[in-house]
Structure 1
Amino acid sequence: MNALFWNLVSLVATTTLVNALPGFPSHIYGVNLGSWLVLESWMLPQEWIDMGGQRCDDCSACVATEFAFAQAYPDTVDAKFKGHWESWFTASDVEALKSAGINTVRIPLGYWIVEALVDRRVEFYPRGGLAQLRRGLQLLHDAGIVVILDHHALPGVQTANQMFTGRCTSDVEFYTPFNYHRALIWTSVMTTLAHLDPAFASAVAIEAVNEPIMDASQTPGYGDFQKNFVRVVRATEYLLGVPAPGFPVLPAPVNGNFSQLLPHINDTVQLFTEEVRSVLLDAVPIILKLGISGISRRSGPLVTNFMDINWQHNNPANPADAQIGPQGYDNHLYYSFGGVADANPDAYLTSICNLNRIQADAALSNSPLWFGEWGLPTQFQATDEFLFQWADAQKLAYSKGAGWIFWNFKVENSQLAGNLSRQWSYLDGVRLGFLTKDPSKLHNPRVCDPYIA
């Protein structure tokens, strides 16, 4: 009876909610565009060295991140990164993804792509990323691939000693009113771009925070931030004349004149809390300076997106409590870092084939759920035979939810990178045959039969 209950919960979560997300395909088959606009030097070690970066065991101890690079090379960082941005993600990559059946990409972004948010006295990042994002989004739109704008690297750093935050440091300061506020300004700016900038037509969702600290006792105020994140998205849309669920509709600004919007920030609409008003008042000058104008290009709201409640422990806030309008949930699962299953093929397959995360999330209203990061890496030397099974079993498990987004679309092929791309690159996984050319298919649909509990 218990198994039947969970199967029904999973079925409801999958069939009734996935299709309700505006702009998304009925099932997500995706990849991350990692190391493009948030560079992680472990994924392209030779290019990083050629740019002038360094490698070290402790990424905080050398020039291993964007922050350290910009601090070390202030006169050349913008040109160096322009070269990287233009070569790492190209029209050829988009064609390869389209040919591989990819319908969704998640683009990791740093807060510094909104350059006005950076305090150049103490924060160091390359400039020019927004133009590159526009270029990539246009290519993806032309290919019919939809986009999740993922706030991957937050102001103040959300997780210690991780390249994906843009700065390796143990000094984690995101979970403060000041940096929550900066992240919300970023959110309003990106929401405006998504509605008004023609290049952003493929953007259908915004993710609030990539991989916050798992221990909720170390993320004070995060539940309030989640609620403010959704309010800021919906309040920004309200000002742009986009229907916010349950709220009146304002006329769109005439000729993109944002000064017309300012009086409405004081409307007695429940969206406009004191913090939301403050965020919008700080965002409008940035939006005006970016030269964004026009009328919303989409008729409906963006999808708000959070890491799911089960990402954290120690009594975390439930992001479902923040929901106003369409919302999706993200979980990341890597076996290669330990703590999930014993380091052997049978344990891996037994674990993944009995995964209950989709059901557990659905019971807490965190549906639809997609797996926004996963890959083929293991803690042991994986044979080719196992990788065929490992790819099938993970796709089978994650497809019971809204779908999956592989990390990463590609990884450097070089002598210095060694065999890295064999298990981390989606395109190489397809080339090698571990991943099927049609992402909806499996080599062996019954791969999990021997392992089901």
Structure 2
Amino acid sequence: MRHSLLAGLVAIAAPASAWLPGVHKDIYARDGSNLFNTSAVPSGDSSKRWLPASGKIRGVNMGSLFVFEPWLAETEWQNMGCGAYQSEFDCVSGLGQSAANAAFQKHWGSWITKDDITQMQSYGLNAIRIPVGYWMDESIVYSDSEHFPQGGLSYLSQLCGWASDAGFYIIIDMHGAPGAQVASNPDTGQYAPSAGFYVDYQYDRGTTFLGWLANQIHTDNNMRNVGMIGIVNEPVQGSSDDSTLLSYFYPNAYNAIRNAESALGITSNNYLHVEPMNELWGAGNPNQNLNNPVFMAYDDHRYLKYDSSVTVSQSAYLENSCTANRNSDNETPTIVGEFSLSPPTDVQDDSDWDTSTQQAFYKQWFAAQVTNYESNTAGWAFWAWKGQLGDYRWSYQDAVSAGVIPQNINDVYNENACSGY
């Protein structure tokens, strides 16, 4: 996320789509029950999460779990002993490896729990997006110069197991790339003075991580519902670095995932979707140098907070959210992998945007966004599931508690938020 996914899921150049839980293969819980036994679900029962009427990804991001963003959870960050530091890299360097490992492992074991998955399930959500850093593959970390917490893989496996047992679709995204894909941003895991990702040897470490991750997904039963890998989150926009990202990293990233699957004998019906940012993101056409790829998907991030082309008003935000075509680049399927309810920072505390008095607007705005995304894309994932801001604009959990997001996501259509557009 920048502070500073499928019944209709089809491949862009493939004769058939890769799997979706309950669509292309049955998914079973550990007790042997079929989580997608439609004959056992009464018609119209809203507890059925994979709704045949929509077939859309309805998800939330696991923000600040494996790639910590201190702005979202300052109290947790301070309790970990990291309050004086800007990023995971800085905190591990400051605390020392052993103390940092203990602090981060305690965080991983408590920030998102099985109860959270149960609560998401009760709200009608059916997917989670998990940001991770390349350092989860500890074999590619430069031990003499890179400082990241260790032991995350078992916690990632545990989370995926809970989500798989609940029948969720899972996206794992490389949120932190080697060298940092953007400068001065803790959401890369390191507050780097410059974006160091855009050189061959860092690209190669990124592709090594993606191949490793694909292997983990296909060999760990807990990860059986992971259907998609985001290959790099929010790369630089409009930069000369775009050319090597498109010509070198994207083809190699795609091949690394497919080669890992080939080595395991994975058949095409069980391929992972490979997901770059879409062209609307502004870092070039991700398909430019891909030769006949199969089982692709595209990540769209939609934050009006950062869009200076849209007038900052409630009416303009509602109109744009209802009418903007987030698939205008014809990259299919597109998933709006991140969005929020936050306006620009300089007005967020003004009376028109006050969270204590403007719940009716925020309810309409959320409904407008998801109504549009479900109409024009393969679905969405809100940023984030939880936070410590005391601000429901960044916390799905808090927004439900505030009545801004309905407890049953199906009820969002009762708002008729886009009926006038």
Given that 1:361 and 1:369 are in contact with CA atoms closer than 8 Å, whether structure 2 keeps it comes out as no
**Secondary structure class of the residue paired with 2:110:** helix
Q: Deviations over 1:360-410 (max 9, x none)?
A: 121xxx101110000111233241121111111111111121011000011
Equivalent of 2:365, from 369, 386, 390? 390
For the 8 Å contact 1:230–1:322, the answer to whether it is kept is no
Number of the residue aligned with 2:261: 237
Counterpart of 1:395, as a letter, is V
Asked if residue 144 in structure 1 is aligned to residue 167 in structure 2, the reply is: yes
- Contact 2:339/2:381 (<8 A) preserved: yes
> Residue in 2 aligned with 1:437?
407
Check whether the contact 2:364–2:415 (CA below 8 A) recurs between aligned residues. no
Query: Which amino acid in 1 is paired with 2:17?
Result: A
Question: Is the Cα–Cα contact under 8 Å of residues 304 and 328 in structure 1 kept in the other structure?
Answer: yes
Q: How far apart, in 2, do the equivalents of 1:322 and 1:184 lie?
A: 17
Choose the corresponding residue for 1:105, options 112, 123, 128. 128
Q: Distance in 1 between matches of 2:163 and 2:257?
A: 23
Structure 1 residue aligned with 2:417 = 447
Alpha-carbon distance between aligned partners in 2 of 1:156 and 1:323, rounded to the nearest angstrom: 30
CA distance in 1, matches of 2:168, 2:286: 32
Over 3 Å counting, the alpha-carbon distance change for 1:32 and 1:48 in structure 2 is same
Q: How much has 1:354 moved relative to structure 2?
A: 1.6
- The answer to whether 1:331 aligns with 2:279 is no
> What's the CA shift for 1:170?
2.4
Are 1:373 and 2:338 matched, yes or no? yes
Distance 1:441 1:347, change over 3 A: same
- Equivalent position of 1:23 in the other structure: 20
For 1:251, the equivalent position in structure 2 comes to none
Gaps of at least 5 residues in structure 1 are 1-12, 55-61, 245-298
Aligned pair partner of 1:321 in 287, 290, 314: 290
Once the 2 structures are TM-superposed, how far is the Cα of residue 197 of structure 1 from its aligned partner?
1.5
Structure-1 separation of matches of 2:362 and 2:214: 39
> Is the CA contact (8 Å cut-off) linking 2:278 and 2:285 kept in structure 1?
no
Q: Does structure 2 conserve the Cα–Cα contact (< 8 Å) formed by 1:137 and 1:200?
A: yes
SS at match of 2:76: helix
2:33 maps to: none
2:400 matches 1:407: no
Compared CA separation, residues 323 and 28, structure 1 to 2 (3 A): farther
* Number of the residue aligned with 1:66: 88
Question: Which of residues 134, 144, 147 is equivalent to 1:124?
Answer: 147
Contact 2:278 2:286 in 1 (8 A): no
Distance 1:218 1:395, change over 3 A: same
| Correspondences of 1:277-356 after superposition (within 5 Å) | 300-312=270-282, 316-318=285-287, 321=290, 324-356=293-325
In structure 1, the residue corresponding to 2:276 is in which secondary structure?
strand
What is the Cα-based RMSD across aligned positions, in Å?
Answer: 2.1
Cα displacement (A) at 1:441: 3.3
Q: Give the 3 Å change call, closer, same or farther, for CA 434–21 of structure 1 in structure 2.
A: farther
Change (3 A) 1:169 1:302: same
Residue pair 1:226, 1:319 contacting (<8 A) in 2 also: no
Q: Tell me which protein shows more helix as a share of its residues.
A: 1
Query: 2:158 maps to what in 1?
Result: 135
1:256 corresponds to which residue? none
* Misfit runs of 4+, over 6 Å: none
Aligned amino acid, residue 431 of structure 1: S
Distance 2:332 2:291 in 1: 13
Q: Offset of 1:41 from its aligned partner?
A: 0.9
* Cα 1:345–1:185 shift into 2, 3 Å: same
Shift of 1:178: 0.3
- Please tell me the residue identity of whatever aligns with 1:20: S
- Is the contact made by 2:251 and 2:289 (CA closer than 8 Å) also made in structure 1? no
CA deviation digits over 1:301-343, x for unaligned, max 9? 1111111012115x54536835522111110011123424122
Where 1:127 maps in the other structure, the secondary structure is coil
Distance 2:306 2:198 in 1: 25
Partner Cα distance (1:96, 1:220) in 2 = 43
Q: Which amino acid aligns with 1:71?
A: S
Alignment match, 2:329: 361
Q: Per the alignment, in what secondary structure is the counterpart of residue 385 of structure 1?
A: helix
- Distance in 1 of aligned mates of 2:303 and 2:86: 22
- Superposition pairs of residues 196-275 of structure 1, within 5 angstroms: 196-223=219-246, 224-244=248-268
Q: 1:71 to 1:322 in 2, by over 3 A?
A: farther
For 2:71, the equivalent position in structure 1 comes to: 42
Alignment partners' CA distance in 1, 2:234 and 2:291: 18
Q: State the 1:16 CA deviation.
A: 7.0
The corresponding residue for 1:53 is 82
Asked if the contact 1:341–1:347 (Cα under 8 Å) also holds between the matched residues in 2, the reply is yes
Alpha carbons 2:371, 2:413 under 8 Å: kept: no
Partner of 2:191: 168
Structure 1 position 344, deviation (Å): 1.2
Paired AA for residue 197 in structure 1: D
Equivalent in 400, 416, 423 of residue 393 of structure 2:
423
1:79 match: 102
Q: Report the alpha carbon displacement of residue 440 of structure 1 after superposing the two structures with TM.
A: 3.3
Q: Would the aligned equivalents of 2:198 and 2:245 in 1 still touch at CA under 8 Å?
A: yes
Taking structure 1 as the reference length, the TM-score comes to: 0.77
Structure 2 unmatched runs, 5+ = 1-5, 22-49, 348-352
The answer to whether the 8 Å contact 1:216/1:312 transfers is no
Against the structure 1 CA distance between its residues 319 and 311, is the aligned structure 2 distance closer, same or farther, given a 3 Å change threshold? Answer: farther
Whether the aligned pair in 2 keeps the contact of 1:110 and 1:166 (CA below 8 Å) is: yes
| The 10-residue stretch of structure 1 (175-184 or 349-358) with the greater mean CA deviation from structure 2 | 349-358
Contact 2:367/2:413 (8 A) holds in 1: yes
